[in-house]
Structure formats: C-alpha cells, structure tokens
Amino acid sequence: MPDLPYLTVDGVSKHFGAGDHAVAALDTVSFSLERGKFLSILGPSGCGKTTLFNIIAGLIPPDQGTVTLNGHSLVMNPGLTGYMLQRDLLLPWRTIADNITLPRTLKGVKPSAALQDASDDIRACGLEGMLRRKPDELSGGQRQRAALVRTFQTGKELLLMDEPFGALDPITRLHLQQLLMRLCLTKGLTVLFVTHDVDEALLLSDEVLVMGSSPGRIVARYTLPQEKPRSLPTLALPALTAMKADILTLLDEEDVDDEK
Amino acid sequence: MKSKTFVQVWRWGLLITLIVLWEAGSRTGFIDPFFFSSPTQIFRTAVVKWQSGQLPGDIAYTASSTLLGFILGTITGSVLGLMFWFSRPIAMVAEPWLIVLNALPKLALAPVLVILTGIGFTSKVILAFLMTVVVAAMSAYGGVQTVDPALQTLLVSLGATRFQTFCRLVVPSAMPSIITGLRVNIALAMAGSIVGEFIASDRGLGRMIVYAGTIFDLPLVWVGVTVLSIVSVVMYAGVVLLERILLRAT
C-alpha cells in the first residue's frame, strides 16, 4: 500500500505586481510527494521554480492555494524545511564549523554539541580537515559540500534544493550528485530539487516534474522506472533515453512558446 | 620582505631628512627661525614643558576628551545606523537628515556649545561627539545596505528570529563599513576637541597653541603642533589595532 502524500501543493498561484503590470508567476500548481522520494523540477528560466520553492519554504505567501507537510500548513511558516540554493551562502566571516552548525546553534544548541552531532555528515562529505578554515579558503566544490552538510543539520526531512550544483564544474558536480544520492537514501530524506540539467534529474530522481512558463505551471510528470542509486551508465538504458528525449522536446516547446 | 624593508627605510629616511633640512635651514638662516623655530629648539622647549608637568597634563586632557567623544560618538552612531535595518521606512525618513547633518559644519557650533556647557571638559567631549556621531551612523547604515539579501533569505529559511538575523548577519556584514569609519572618526574627534580648546579652555594642547601664539612663543606653538601630530599617530595606530581585533572577532 503506497504512503499517503507527505508534501501536498494544491492549487498554488502567485502574481507579482499589480494592475496592468501584474505578472503571473505561478498558475494553479498542484502536486504531491510521498515521504522519502526525490522529485526534480525542470523548466525554462522564469517558469516560477524559485517562486514555488520560496512559497513551500514559507518565505512568501501564495495568492491562492495551500501547501501542507504531513498535514501542517507551510504557508508563511519558515524554518520547517531545509533550503539549499545555487550559491553556497556560507557566512564569510565564520569558520566552516560555525557555518555547518548554524542551523543548530540558532536553536540554542551549543556549538561543540552541534559539531559533534554533525560529525557523521562532515566525515561523509570529506570536510574533516577544513572545519577551522574560512569559506574563502575552500574550493567551490568544498564550499558546496559544506552548504550540503549545513542543510542536513536543519534536521528537516524535506529538503528544497534550488540548483545546488548549477555553478560547479562537471566532475565536481558528478561527485556531489553521487554523494547527495547516497546520503538521501541513507537518511530517508524527501527532496524537491530544481535543475536545468535533464541528466542530473534522471540520475537522482524518483519523479520528474516539467514546468512551463508564462505563467508557471506543470506540463508533465514522469515516474522513473529504475531503482536507485543510479550511475551514469544507467542513463543510457532505453527507458531513460526515451524519457530524456520526451522531456527535452517538452522543454524545447515551452521555450518556443515563451518566445512567442 | 625586501620591499617591506625598502618602504620602512624610505619612510623613516624622509622624516629624518626633513628634520635635518629644517634644522640646517634654521641655523643657516635659509628659513626664519622666529617663525619656524628649529627641531632642537622645539625639543628643548618640549623638555622644559614636560618637566614642569604642563605638557603631560595637556596631552592627557586633549587625548581623553578626544577618546571619550570618539567612543561615545562611534558607539551611538553605529548603533543608530544599525538600528535602521529594523525599519526601512524609518531609515528612509532619517537618511536625508543624516546627509544634512553630515554636511552641517559642526565646528561652527563650537561657540554655542561653549556658552551652553562652559569652558570645561564637557564642551570638548560634546564637540568630538558631534563630529563623529553622524559619520558613524552613515558608515553603519551604509554597511546595513550591503547585507546580502540571499543570506537574509537563508537565515529566515533556517527559522532565525529577526534579532538573531541582526546579530549573526547584519552586524558582521556592516562591520567593515563601521571599521572604515573609525579611521576617519578618530581624526574628526581630535579636530572637535582641539577647536573646542581654541574657542575657550583652561587646559589642553589646543589652548596651549593658542596661548603660545598670543605671546609670540612660536617654539611652543611648534611643540603643540608636533605633540598633536604624535598623539594623532598613536591614536590612529590604536584604531588600526582595534580594527584588527574587531575583524578577528567577527
């Protein structure tokens, strides 16, 4: 028997501006996600992916619709999800240890205890020797790994990841994708993942949503047939190559529609 | 390492050359010793004033009014500027006022302040305070405006309260601007104290210079100018040290 929906986004709409200058960012977006699943969202630039994430993270309110996590409303209720952005957003004046433990210390946990709690994730991400360094002493990949550990320290089961590896070189990105996949499976996390990279979505996800723009809406949903963890060669399997072709065609059509 | 030594040698070399040329020019009559005195004459006068106890007392008086005004002005201004983060409307109302107050020649208020608060220590501290408070507020507000909105979003998403965001993000983000303002402010605080002493005072290096000028004791004027320069350099060095401590702490 399948799990009940863990995350439910129901009829979410959002406009920016007013009157003649109003821009529809999202139009009645609805979907649900089971606990422990990895859902990637693909779509052209400006299709409202980040707006949708900000609504789910409780940072901005929707004009209409509801967002619930395990039955509790997330609307304007920040701090209930882990949020990771494309930029690592490490505080430059703090050490990596201080940055990693920030979500816990904000809750009043002592830094030493928070660091002890994070030790498994620190080890898994290979950051043991870098804890006393400042962010500007680390490479882009190391910084993003630190941001990943910090996101895990929120202790939230739902993670929102907005193109977290978008700014990295292909090799570092692949390492981090494998790391994320492994840690998510181990921890049983539920992840919403925004990406522009179809291969990345197919490698990591249980399901893929394709969004269209002007206004932002869901145009297709795919469930991936292959078991996880996957590797790059898996992407060459006929089922996934067909899915990739389908998604690319859809994205291409959306881009063309957007330009009209 | 080599270039560091080179810079040090040239810095001190230029100072020594200037002193030697000054002394030589004064002795040979190339420059008028009545107006410009000479380094040895200035040194002799300084030693006499130091031994009489007048010079240490004047240094302590000017330095303490400068430091007190600087500390009060910097803390008040910085707190004010940082507080603008909590309310954008209040910040927008206050911004033109700050600009006007910054442009206002505060030293022109010195006679009024002396009449209001007397010729004592308080008027000097208030002038030093007025000289520094607006600059500190503008520096801190400038720093507040540099806070990265994405970092602010991150902290909100982590469930940070406004006060936590202020302490953990806004204050450290604004610190470089506040620190830059410190270097400007220490010189402004000293200018405030000295002008206060020029207007009316019974003690201090400013009063000593004015008094020496009125009795044509120009070597003593030069003692005052030289000692003020040394006190300024020492205070500037103190501020640089404070900067390092603050930067390390954040």
Ordered by start, the domain boundaries in chain B are: 1-36, 37-249
Helix (H, G, I), strand (E, B) or coil at B136: helix
Q: Nearest chain A Cα to B164, which residue?
A: A106
Taking the C-alpha atoms of residue B38 and residue A150, their distance in angstroms, rounded to an integer, is 66
Q: Which residues of A touch B154 (CB under 8 A)?
A: 83, 85, 89
Upstream peptide bond of A215 is cis (omega within 30 degrees of 0): yes
| pLDDT score at A1 | 43
Residue A157, pLDDT above cutoff 50: yes
Measured CA to CA, the distance from residue A36 to residue A204 in angstroms comes to 13
What are the chain B neighbours of A58 within 8 Å (beta carbons)? 157
CB A85 within 8 A of CB A162: yes
pLDDT in tens, A28-39: 999 999 999 999
Task: Locate B185 and state its tokens.
Answer: 């402010």
Q: What's the number of CA atoms in the CB half-sphere (13 Å) around residue A6?
A: 19
What per-residue confidence (pLDDT) applies to A3?
53
Which of B159, B172, B250 faces A106 most closely, judged by CB atoms? B159
Among candidates A57, A87, A107 on the partner chain, residue whose Cβ is nearest the Cβ of B157: A57
Contact B172 A83 (CB under 8 A): no
B168–A106 CB contact, under 8 Å: yes
Query: Rounded distance, CA A206 to CA A39, Å?
Result: 6
Kindly give the confidence (pLDDT) of every residue in chain B, 250 residues in length, as a single tens digit, with 9 standing for 90 and above: 578 889 999 999 999 999 999 999 999 999 998 999 999 999 999 999 999 999 999 999 999 999 999 999 999 999 999 999 998 888 889 889 888 988 888 888 888 888 898 889 999 999 999 999 999 999 999 999 999 999 999 999 888 999 999 999 999 999 989 988 898 899 999 999 999 999 888 899 999 999 999 999 999 999 999 999 999 999 999 988 988 887 776 6
Instruction: Kindly report, residue by residue over A207-236, the tens digit of the pLDDT.
Output: 999 998 888 899 999 998 877 778 878 888
Q: Could you give the CA distance from residue A81 to residue A85 in angstroms, rounded to a whole number?
A: 13
Nearest to A244 by CA among A211, A192, A206, A197: A197
Check B157 against A89: CB less than 8 A apart: no
- Paired strand residues for A41: A194, A209
Parse chain A into domains and list their residue ranges: 1-81+207-260
Residue A260 is predicted with a pLDDT of 47
Q: Which residues of A224-254 are buried (b: 16+ CB within 10 A; e: fewer)?
A: beeeeebeeebbeeeebeebbeebeebbeeb
- Residue A250 near residue A219, CB atoms below 8 Å: yes
B151 Cα to chain A: minimum distance (Å): 6
Enter the tokens of residue A157. Answer: 């089961």
The answer on pLDDT for A19 being more than 50 is: yes
Angle ∠(B82,B87,B88) on CA atoms, nearest 5: 100
- Give the C-alpha separation, A64 to B191, whole Å: 60
Chain B touched by A155 (CB under 8 Å) = no
Q: How far is A236 from chain B (nearest CA, A)?
A: 37
Instruction: Name the residue among A78, A80, A89 with its Cβ closest to that of B150.
Output: A89
Res A258 pLDDT > 80 = no
Residues linked to residue A191 through DSSP beta bridges, in sequence order: A38, A159
C-beta separation of A156 from A78 below 8 A = no
pLDDT tens for residues A73-125? 999 988 889 999 888 999 998 999 999 999 999 999 999 999 999 999 999 88
- The listed CATH number (3.90.1570, 1.10.287, 3.40.50, 3.40.190) that belongs to domain A1-81+207-260: 3.40.50
pLDDT digits (tens, 9 = 90+) for A175-190: 889 889 988 888 889 9
Distance from A169 to chain B by nearest Cα, in Å? 22
Using CB atoms, pick whichever of B159, B164, B250 lies closest to residue A78. Answer: B159
- Give me B20's structure tokens: 């030697």
- As a whole number of angstroms, the distance between CA A99 and CA A105 comes to 10
Nearest-CA distance B134 → chain A (Å): 27
Q: In terms of CATH architecture, what is B37-249?
A: Orthogonal Bundle (1.10)
Selected for mutation to probe chain A from B158, B166, B171 (highest A CB count within 10 Å) is B158
Predicted pLDDT of residue B79: 95
Say which residue the tokens 């979500």 belong to.
A103
Number of alpha carbons in the 13 Å side-chain half-sphere of residue B222: 18
Residues 6+ apart with CB under 8 A from B234: none
Which residue is closest to B152 within chain A, CA to CA? A89
The one-letter amino acid code at B117 reads: T
B202-222 as b/e: b if 16+ CB within 10 A: ebbbbbbbbebeeeebbbbbb
How far is residue A143's CA from residue A127's CA, in Å, rounded to a whole number? 9
Contact (CB<8Å) A91/B168: yes
B159 contacts on A by Cβ (under 8 Å)? 78-80, 103, 106-107
Q: Is A120 helix (H, G, I), strand (E, B) or coil?
A: helix
The sheet with strand A64-69 has its strands ordered as A23-34, A5-16, A64-69, A72-73
Residues B33 and B26: their CA atoms lie apart, in Å, by 5
ipTM at complex level: 0.83
B235: tokens are 């205070």
| Cis peptide bond prior to A229, omega within 30° of 0 | yes
In 3D space, the residue among A209, A187, A182 whose CA is nearest the CA of residue A36 turns out to be A187
- Higher per-residue pLDDT: B4 or A26: A26
Q: A83, B159: Cβ pair inside 8 Å?
A: no
Q: CA-nearest residue of chain B to A98?
A: B168
Count of A–B CB contacts within 8 Å?
A: 46
Backbone angles phi, psi at A223, to 5 degrees: -110, 125
- C-alpha distances out from residue B135 to B73, B141, B176, B186, Å: 9, 10, 14, 11
A79:B159 CB<8 A: yes
Nearest CA in chain B to A147: B154
Gap between the terminal Cα atoms of chain B: 29
Contacts for A254 with CB less than 8 Å, ≥ 6 apart:
A43, A44, A47, A210, A211, A212, A213, A219
Instruction: Answer whether A56 touches B (CB < 8 Å).
Output: no
Query: What is the Cα Rg of chain B in Å?
Result: 22
Instruction: Name the residue in chain A with its Cα closest to that of B175.
Output: A93
